[in-house]
């Protein structure tokens, strides 16, 4: 049924060449002529092709046609909505047409980039445009949703990325809640001695920032705390923070450290000292910890074990020790959230042939960081596990758990540079012979390759090849009491056995073990291996698909300190601009439940990746919170009653698009092309 | 609705016809109890093969539009069904697709999974058939007395609205008697000028939600870890949603109206009231709903869970294959 001529929409079709991106594979002129002719009955009154529709001239063409030809609908066949939907909606809006009465048909990503046969690709582009035209007829005029932005921000994770983000925002004058799971902020960087490539002392450059973050009037620091729950959406999140009991009253504690000194229990420090040193049952993880308040570890405290001791309480000069402390829940309201929860180190035990945990003098990279740290358990002496012997030869193995199909396929980015740093430190402190075993040397970025050359000049021996095994089974003379590294030297083209005293495994970076759970709490997604997914890998690496939730640092993927800092600052800049603007406009693409049709079957209740679905037990119906819904369509597809409809994706819109796709007999079998 | 051509004293005319169906719908109408007397009082029953003698030619002789209300049950399996559908459409002011077969094909429509030859093989040449001569039906057979005609068997079963324009749809296999009674009351009220007919194309005699809405069972957030069949279960919790116990219940996708008869008797809903309002393909709907709540991310385990679904095609398209987007079991 075709509506009569005067009630028909007046549709403009614009086919983009995208330089040769589209025109190289699709006959765009033919497509435009075809659409003007064959789709005239559907209401197409203008059909043009143009070199770059997204250029200002291309956009003006649309604006002019809307004004002069009275277009009521616009179809642009070009790249993907991700890239330029906003551009063309903008053109419509400037010409006075509701921007949602336009449709972007992707003939680049879905046609020219995936096909090579020009005739077939052209036929497919035509079918897709016919689908777009049928769909745009069913489109409705919509108004963007305007949401006010609460000026406070939540930053989760107090590593270098989170600290940087918090400081930037605080400096701009807005309040930040910085939540850190550990007793102190600082993250991994606090454990290092030197940082590549400049060999700055990590503490010297980090601690001033930690102190700033701890004392800034605009930063409320919650350490030994975690985010329990997040409700609401961009502009107005309600966040519940769980503050674990420290058993130390922060208002009374002066950080004098007497309790720590007097505590009678020594405990192996598996966290900060990576198992190489001791701490007390009541402790601050390191001297420069921020905040300065100690934490009592109930699992190792004599009082919690046996019911008596309380030495710390007796000796605390301000009476700050409080054995009755319990968990506290604090609720705050924020407009934006930055996640900077960092990474975990790959567990080197998972590569049994390298012997970590079995062979005494095999160390992980973090252990080496503590060994070489002047404030570490050996005061920076690089020694074997016995605590005294200096190694005469050291083997450093790159890519442990990285670039390996059995573990992680990706490159952990920092390990080459970190291994070079280790080689330098060993040379400097012990004069030992150092071997670095690498697959490829990755020293991109400023001053990195120079550092590599410097380490080569220092005399470190580089062996190219993946180490097969580290063993203590001596076969030849000179191998007794040594660790033997078995490797195929791919440059020399032969197998080698290299005996050393110490092996350091440059373990890769992995997503936090609880990354999926954290992602779920904040309504964002993880990639298959667990890194948080950015909105766009190139153009928007710090935003996520969830409005108001940003990511910075290693949560997004392995990276070095400069990149982590840059991301922290970038995420902060985005948040600051949001706060300054006061409100944002959101896509009005939302799902809605027709309460009348909803049977309360509860199929949809747990499906929303953004936690937008609310169940009302009293009325046995489901509702969708429009502030949270991102219009992803998951629930729309799932509802067996058809009770949920999505704006922009109604049954009519989807079915008419399909009808359009199938409207013309195509010269080639498009279904066959899909395979 | 004006009754053109009928004299004021005459009662409005009523017809009911069965095409490809089991006869259950007819029983359901008779089952409305004393209300059947109201039908008799208010209507002049002119054509109803199951209840009275009548000839097709009597219907052909009637004026077009002279029957006020026709309840048409059964799908369109052969050319006789189609001829009657066209005839009754012409003669009736209101044509109701009555029951699942007329609306969506129902059980006879499941034959669309098989070709005509396969169907004839099953009927005329399987072990259960004693047909030594290998006789197959033909549309024309010459016998000494002349030529015999039997209806032509179509390659697929079609629904009533795939061959003629339909005014209303009344779902159910069969429609529940209390719903039939409600519809009859409505029609009577319209005749007395006390009510208005619903908009053309509406579903009548049913609810606008799904079966779960009428089901008293307790339900929780759905997470499916297995499918089991009733006979494999030691005991069925009488109060908990069947789906949550692993029994494939189609209630969530099936239009409300029956009062959740089956689930209330420890049997899963199998979907006889058809899809909910606006749903284009019932089977696709239910599959995407179930797929959304399978509680595993491990492909092998998901496969194992899905393997527990008894006869997926039959379970999801039992009533609606002929009216689904698939229409038939074969593409092309
Ligand atoms: C052995 C080694 C040596 C390295 N050496 C160098 C070097 O010399 N130079 C260089 O540029 N880079 C180096 N790197 C890389 C560097 O460590 C990272 O780039 C940097 O630490 C990333 O900072 P981040 O803030 O993203 O993460 P992290 O440092 O991991 O900090 C994340 C913080 O978030 C907290 N957290 C985690 N989960 C939660 C939660 N759910 N709630 C609250 N808080 C949470 C953590 O406790 C931690 O404090 C090295 C890495 C390793 C492993
Ligand atoms: S469309 Fe549904 S699942 Fe998707 S965000 Fe909205 S409510 Fe959640
Ligand atoms: S899936 Fe549909 S019918 Fe079921 S509870 Fe959700 S909205 Fe209601
Ligand atoms: S038993 Fe069936 S009808 Fe009842 S709530 Fe569960 S799915 Fe719905
Ligand atoms: S419960 Fe389902 S199968 Fe049973 S009568 Fe009702 S609609 Fe039909």
3-state secondary structure chain B: CCCCCCCCCCCCEEEEEECECCCHHHHHHHCCCCHHHHHHHHCEEEECCCCCCCCHHHHHHCCCCCEEEEEEECEEEEHHHHHHHHHHHHHEEEEEEECHHHHHCHHHHHHHHCCHHHHHHHHHCCCCCCCCCCCCCCCEEEECCEEEECCCEEEEEECHHHCCCCCEEECCCCCCHHHHHHHHHHHHHHHCCCCCCCCCCCECCCCCCEHHHHCCCECCCCCECCCECHHHCCCCCCCECCHHHCECCCHHHEECCCCCHHHHCCCCCCCCCCECCCCCCHHHHHHHHHHHHECCCCHHHHHHHHHCCCCHHHHHHCCCHHHCCCCCCCCC
CA dist B293 and B135 (Å) reads 50
Per-residue exposure over A512-536, b if at least 16 CB sit within 10 Å of its own CB, e if not: beebeebbebbbbebeeebbbbbbe
Contacts of B207 (CB under 8 A, 6+ apart): B213, B214, B255, B256, B257
CA dist B252 and B46 (Å) reads 40
The answer to whether residue B206 sits within a structural domain is: no
Does the pLDDT value for residue A672 go beyond 80? no
Take residue A352 and report the two structure tokens written for it.
């049994």
The answer to whether residue B205 sits within a structural domain is: no
Which DSSP symbol is given to A321? B
Say yes or no: B275 and B303 in one domain: yes
- Chain A hits for B220, Cβ within 8 Å: 602
The region, left, alpha or beta by phi > 0 then psi within -120 to 50, assigned to residue A537 is: alpha
* Chain B residues within 8 angstroms (CB to CB) of chain A: 208-213, 219-223, 251-253, 256, 275-280, 285-286, 288-289, 292-293
- Chain A hits for B285, Cβ within 8 Å: 640, 642
CA dist B21 and A308 (Å) reads 84
When the pLDDT of each residue in chain B is averaged and rounded to a whole number, the result is 92
Does the pLDDT value for residue A1 go beyond 50? no
- Chain B hits for A596, Cβ within 8 Å: 208-209
Does the pLDDT value for residue A670 go beyond 80? no
Say yes or no: B140 and B63 in one domain: no
Say yes or no: B141 and B175 in one domain: no
Does the pLDDT value for residue B308 go beyond 50? yes
- pLDDT per position as a tens digit, A43-77: 999 999 999 999 999 999 999 999 999 999 999 99
Fold: same for A11-142 and A591-647: no
pLDDT of residue B331: 39
% of chain B residues with pLDDT over 90: 83
The SS3 assignment for A14 reads strand
Contact B252 A640 (CB under 8 A): yes
Q: What is the average pLDDT across A172-194?
A: 97
Residue B45's DSSP bridge partners are B14
- Chain B hits for A640, Cβ within 8 Å: 210, 252-253, 276, 285-286, 289
Chains A and B form CB pairs within 8 A to the count of 79
What DSSP letter does each residue of A517-532 carry, written as one string?
HHHHHHT--B-TTSPB
Take residue A548 and report the two structure tokens written for it.
């108001």
Q: What is the average pLDDT across B186-210?
A: 94
Q: Which of B223, B252, B278 lies nearest to residue A601, judging by beta carbons?
A: B252
Confidence of residue B214 (pLDDT cuts 50, 70, 90): very high
pLDDT of residue B6: 47
Confidence of residue A675 (pLDDT cuts 50, 70, 90): very low
pLDDT of residue B248: 96
Which residues line ligand 5 at a C-beta cut-off of 6 Å? B 211, 254, 258, 260-263, 269-273
Domain containing B179 equals 13-108+157-191
CA dist A459 and A456 (Å) reads 5
Ligand 3 pocket, mutate which of B213, B252, B255, B290 (most atoms under 8 A from CB): B252
The answer to whether residue B309 sits within a structural domain is: yes
The SS3 assignment for A364 reads strand
- Chain B hits for A638, Cβ within 8 Å: 288-289, 292-293
Say yes or no: B94 and B127 in one domain: no
Q: How far is the CA of B258 from the centre of ligand 5 (A)?
A: 6
Contacts of A258 (CB under 8 A, 6+ apart): A315, A316, A317
**A651 lies within 8 A of chain B by CB:** yes
- Nearest chain B Cα distance for residue A620, angstroms: 8
Instruction: Write the CATH number for B48.
Output: 3.40.50.700
Which residues line ligand 1 at a C-beta cut-off of 6 Å? A 156-162, 179-182, 187-189, 192, 195-196, 226, 340-343, 345, 365-366, 369, 414, 418, 421, 512, 518, 553-554, 559-562, 564
CA dist B252 and B217 (Å) reads 12
Q: How far is the CA of A654 from the centre of ligand 2 (A)?
A: 17
3-state helix, strand, coil in chain A (%, to 5): 30, 25, 45
From atom 6 of ligand 2, which residue's Cα is the shortest distance away?
A629
Say yes or no: B236 and B273 in one domain: yes
The phi, psi pair for A328, rounded to 5°, reads -120, 140
Q: What is the average pLDDT across A471-481?
A: 94
CATH architecture observed for domain A11-142: 3-Layer(aba) Sandwich (3.40)
Confidence of residue A213 (pLDDT cuts 50, 70, 90): very high
Does the pLDDT value for residue A189 go beyond 80? yes
Q: Which of A601, A607, A615 lies nearest to residue B210, judging by beta carbons?
A: A601
The answer to whether residue B308 sits within a structural domain is: yes
% of chain A residues with pLDDT over 70: 98
CA dist A312 and A147 (Å) reads 51
- Chain B hits for A634, Cβ within 8 Å: 292
Contact B219 A605 (CB under 8 A): no
The answer to whether residue B31 sits within a structural domain is: yes
Confidence of residue A593 (pLDDT cuts 50, 70, 90): very high
Between B132 and B183, the more confident residue is B183
Contact A603 B289 (CB under 8 A): yes
* Domains of chain A, residue spans: 11-142, 153-188+195-342+514-581, 344-510, 591-647
Residue A359: CB atoms within 10 A of its CB come to 14
The phi, psi pair for A220, rounded to 5°, reads -100, 115
Q: What is the average pLDDT across B251-262?
A: 97
pLDDT of residue B329: 61
Q: Which fold has domain A153-188+195-342+514-581?
A: FAD/NAD(P)-binding domain (3.50.50)
- Chain B hits for A593, Cβ within 8 Å: none
Say yes or no: B173 and B25 in one domain: yes
Ligand closest to the CA atom of residue A640: 3
CA dist A570 and A572 (Å) reads 5
Q: Which of B219, B280, B289 lies nearest to residue A639, judging by beta carbons?
A: B289
Say yes or no: B161 and B242 in one domain: no
Contact A599 B210 (CB under 8 A): yes
Tell me if the bond preceding A197 is cis, omega within 30° of 0: yes
Say yes or no: B264 and B230 in one domain: yes
Which residues line ligand 3 at a C-beta cut-off of 6 Å? A 593, 598-604, 622, 639, 641, 643-644
Which residues line ligand 2 at a C-beta cut-off of 6 Å? A 591, 607-608, 610, 612-613, 624, 629-636, 646
pLDDT of residue B260: 97
Contact B219 A602 (CB under 8 A): yes
Residue A74's DSSP bridge partners are A12, A102
Say yes or no: B144 and B175 in one domain: no
Length of chain A: 675
HSE (CB half, 13 Å, CA atoms) of A509? 20
Take residue B154 and report the two structure tokens written for it.
């179509």
CA dist A434 and A505 (Å) reads 13
Q: How far is CA B40 from the centre of its chain?
A: 25
CA dist A387 and A376 (Å) reads 12
Q: What is the average pLDDT across A164-177?
A: 98
Say yes or no: B224 and B80 in one domain: no
Which DSSP symbol is given to A639? -
pLDDT of residue A9: 96
Residue whose pair of structure tokens reads 């035990």 in the numeric block: A349
Ligand closest to the CA atom of residue A607: 2
Q: What is the average pLDDT across B219-243?
A: 94
Contact B292 A599 (CB under 8 A): no
Per-residue exposure over B49-58, b if at least 16 CB sit within 10 Å of its own CB, e if not: eeeeeeeeee
User: Which residues 572-611 of chain A have a CB within 8 Å of chain B?
Assistant: 596-607
Could you give the C-alpha distances from B55 to A156, B17, B39, B48, B62, in angstroms and in order? 82, 12, 21, 10, 12
The complex scores an ipTM of 0.91
pLDDT of residue A673: 54
Nearest CA in chain B to A637: B288
Does the pLDDT value for residue A237 go beyond 70? yes
Contact B280 A634 (CB under 8 A): no
Tell me how many domains chain B contains. 3
pLDDT of residue A648: 87
Nearest-atom index, ligand 3, CA of B210:
3
Ligand closest to the CA atom of residue A191: 1
pLDDT of residue A666: 61
Ligand closest to the CA atom of residue A605: 3
Q: Which fold has domain A591-647?
A: Alpha-Beta Plaits (3.30.70)
Confidence of residue B3 (pLDDT cuts 50, 70, 90): very low
- Which of A362-366, A493-497, B105-109, B121-125 has the least mean pLDDT? B121-125
Query: What does pTM read for this prediction?
Result: 0.70
Which DSSP symbol is given to A485? E
- Nearest chain A Cα distance for residue B299, angstroms: 14
Q: How far is the CA of A634 from the centre of ligand 2 (A)?
A: 6
- pLDDT per position as a tens digit, A515-550: 999 999 998 999 988 999 999 999 999 999 889 999
- pLDDT per position as a tens digit, A396-438: 999 999 999 999 999 999 999 999 999 999 999 999 999 999 9
pLDDT of residue A668: 55
When the pLDDT of each residue in chain A is averaged and rounded to a whole number, the result is 94
Mutation test of the interface with chain A: which of B219, B244, B274, B298, choosing the one with the most A Cβ atoms within 10 A? B219
CB A300 within 8 A of CB A306: no
Mutation test of the interface with chain B: which of A1, A603, A611, choosing the one with the most B Cβ atoms within 10 A? A603
The answer to whether residue B302 sits within a structural domain is: yes
Which class in CATH covers the domain with range A344-510? alpha beta
Which residues line ligand 4 at a C-beta cut-off of 6 Å? A 601; B 211-212, 215, 217, 219, 241-243, 249, 251-252, 260, 263, 269
pLDDT of residue A82: 83
CB A176 within 8 A of CB A155: yes
Q: What is the average pLDDT across A482-491?
A: 97
Take residue A447 and report the two structure tokens written for it.
């001053």
Contact A640 B222 (CB under 8 A): no
Confidence of residue B326 (pLDDT cuts 50, 70, 90): confident
Contact B222 A606 (CB under 8 A): yes
Take residue A655 and report the two structure tokens written for it.
């079915």
Q: How far is the CA of A538 from the centre of ligand 1 (A)?
A: 22
% of chain B residues with pLDDT over 70: 96
Contact B285 A607 (CB under 8 A): no
């Amino acid at each position: 049924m075709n509506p009569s001529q005067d009630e028909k929409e007046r549709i403009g079709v614009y086919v983009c060449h995208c330089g040769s991106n589209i025109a190289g594979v699709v006959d765009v002129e033919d497509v435009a002529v075809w659409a003007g002719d064959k789709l005239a009955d559907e209401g197409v009154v203008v059909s043009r092709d143009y070199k770059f529709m997204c250029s200002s001239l291309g956009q003006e063409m649309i604006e002019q046609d809307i004004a002069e030809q009275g277009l009521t609908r616009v179809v642009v066949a070009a790249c993907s909505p991700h890239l330029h939907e906003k551009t063309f909606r903008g053109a419509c809006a400037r010409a006075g047409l509701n921007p949602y009465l336009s449709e972007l048909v992707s003939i680049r990503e879905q046609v020219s980039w995936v096909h090579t046969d020009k005739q077939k690709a052209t036929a497919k582009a035509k079918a897709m445009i016919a689908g777009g035209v049928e769909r745009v007829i069913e489109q409705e005029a919509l108004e963007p949703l305007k949401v006010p932005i609460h000026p406070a921000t939540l930053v989760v994770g107090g590593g270098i990325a989170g600290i940087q983000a918090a400081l930037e925002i605080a400096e701009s004058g807005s309040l930040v809640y910085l939540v850190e799971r550990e007793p102190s902020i600082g993250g991994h960087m606090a454990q290092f001695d030197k940082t590549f490539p400049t060999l700055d002392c990590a503490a010297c450059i980090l601690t001033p920032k930690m102190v700033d973050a701890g004392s800034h009037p605009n930063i409320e620091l919650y350490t030994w705390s975690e985010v329990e729950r997040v409700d609401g959406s961009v502009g107005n999140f309600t966040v519940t923070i769980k503050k674990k009991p420290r058993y130390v009253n922060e208002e009374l504690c002066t950080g004098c450290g007497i309790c720590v000194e007097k505590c009678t229990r020594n405990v192996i420090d598996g966290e900060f000292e990576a198992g190489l040193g001791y701490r007390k049952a009541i402790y601050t993880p390191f001297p420069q910890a921020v905040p300065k308040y100690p934490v009592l570890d109930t699992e190792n405290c004599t009082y919690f074990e046996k019911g008596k001791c309380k030495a710390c309480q007796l000796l605390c000069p301000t009476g700050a020790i409080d054995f009755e402390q319990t968990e506290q829940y604090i609720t705050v309201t924020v407009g934006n959230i930055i996640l900077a929860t960092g990474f975990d180190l790959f567990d080197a035990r998972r590569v049994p042939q390298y012997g970590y945990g079995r062979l005494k003098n095999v160390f992980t990279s973090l252990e080496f960081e503590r060994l070489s740290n002047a404030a570490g358990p050996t005061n920076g002496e690089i020694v074997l596990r016995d605590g005294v012997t200096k190694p005469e030869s050291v083997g450093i193995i790159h890519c442990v758990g990285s670039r390996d199909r059995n573990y992680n396929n990706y490159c952990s980015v920092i390990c080459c540079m970190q291994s070079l740093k280790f080689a330098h430190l060993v040379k400097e402190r012990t004069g030992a012979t150092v071997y670095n075993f690498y697959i490829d040397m990755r020293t991109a970025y400023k001053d990195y390759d120079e550092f590599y050359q410097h380490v080569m000049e220092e005399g470190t021996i580089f062996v190219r090849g993946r180490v097969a095994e580290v063993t203590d089974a001596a076969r030849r003379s000179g191998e007794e009491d040594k660790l033997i590294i078995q490797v195929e030297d791919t440059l020399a083209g032969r197998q080698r056995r290299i005996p050393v005293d110490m092996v350091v495994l440059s373990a890769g970076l992995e997503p936090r073990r609880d990354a999926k759970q954290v992602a779920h709490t904040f309504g964002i997604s993880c990639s298959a291996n667990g890194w948080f997914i950015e909105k766009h890998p190139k153009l928007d690496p710090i935003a996520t698909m969830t409005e108001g939730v940003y990511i910075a640092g290693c949560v997004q993927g392995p990276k070095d300190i400069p990149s982590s800092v840059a991301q922290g600052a970038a995420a902060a800049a985005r948040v600051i601009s949001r706060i300054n603007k006061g409100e944002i406009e959101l896509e009005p693409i939302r799902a809605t439940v027709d309460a009348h049709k909803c049977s309360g079957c509860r199929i949809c209740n747990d499906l929303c990746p953004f936690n937008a679905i609310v169940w009302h037990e009293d009325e046995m119906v489901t509702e969708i919170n429009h502030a949270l819904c991102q219009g992803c369509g998951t629930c729309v597809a799932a509802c067996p009653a058809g009770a949920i409809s999505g704006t922009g994706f109604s049954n009519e819109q989807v079915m008419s698009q399909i009808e359009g796709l199938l409207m013309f007999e195509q010269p080639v079998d498009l279904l066959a092309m899909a395979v | 609705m004006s009754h053109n051509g009928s004299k004021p004293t005459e009662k409005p005319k009523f017809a009911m016809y069965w095409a490809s169906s089991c006869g259950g719908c007819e029983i359901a109408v008779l089952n409305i109890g004393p209300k059947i007397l109201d039908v008799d009082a208010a209507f002049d029953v002119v054509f109803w093969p199951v209840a009275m003698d009548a000839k097709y030619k009597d219907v052909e002789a009637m004026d077009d539009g002279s029957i006020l209300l026709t309840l048409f049950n059964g799908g369109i399996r052969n050319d006789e069904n189609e001829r009657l559908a066209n005839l009754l459409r012409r003669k009736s002011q209101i044509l109701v697709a009555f029951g699942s077969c007329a609306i969506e094909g129902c059980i006879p429509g499941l034959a669309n999974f098989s070709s005509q030859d396969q169907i004839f093989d099953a009927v005329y040449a399987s072990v259960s058939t004693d047909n030594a001569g290998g006789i197959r039906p033909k549309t024309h057979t010459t016998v000494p007395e002349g030529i015999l005609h039997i209806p032509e068997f179509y390659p697929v079963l079609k629904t009533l609205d795939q061959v003629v324009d339909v005014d209303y749809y009344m779902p159910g296999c069969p429609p529940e008697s209390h719903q039939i009674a409600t519809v009859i009351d409505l029609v009577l009220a319209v005749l007395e000028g006390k009510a208005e007919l619903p908009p053309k194309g509406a579903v009548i005699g049913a609810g606008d939600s799904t079966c779960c809405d009428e089901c008293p069972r307790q339900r929780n957030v759905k997470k499916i870890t297995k499918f089991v069949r009733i006979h494999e279960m030691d005991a069925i919790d009488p109060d908990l949603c069947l789906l949550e116990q692993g029994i494939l219940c189609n209630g969530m996708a099936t239009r409300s109206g029956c009062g959740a008869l089956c689930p209330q008797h420890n049997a899963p809903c199998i979907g006889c009231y058809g899809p909910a309002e606006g749903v284009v393909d019932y089977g696709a709907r239910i599959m995407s709903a179930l797929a959304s709540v399978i509680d595993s991310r491990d492909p092998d385990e998901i496969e194992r869970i899905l393997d527990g679904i008894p006869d997926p095609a039959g379970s999801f398209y039992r009533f609606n294959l002929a009216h689904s987007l698939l229409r038939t079991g074969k593409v092309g």
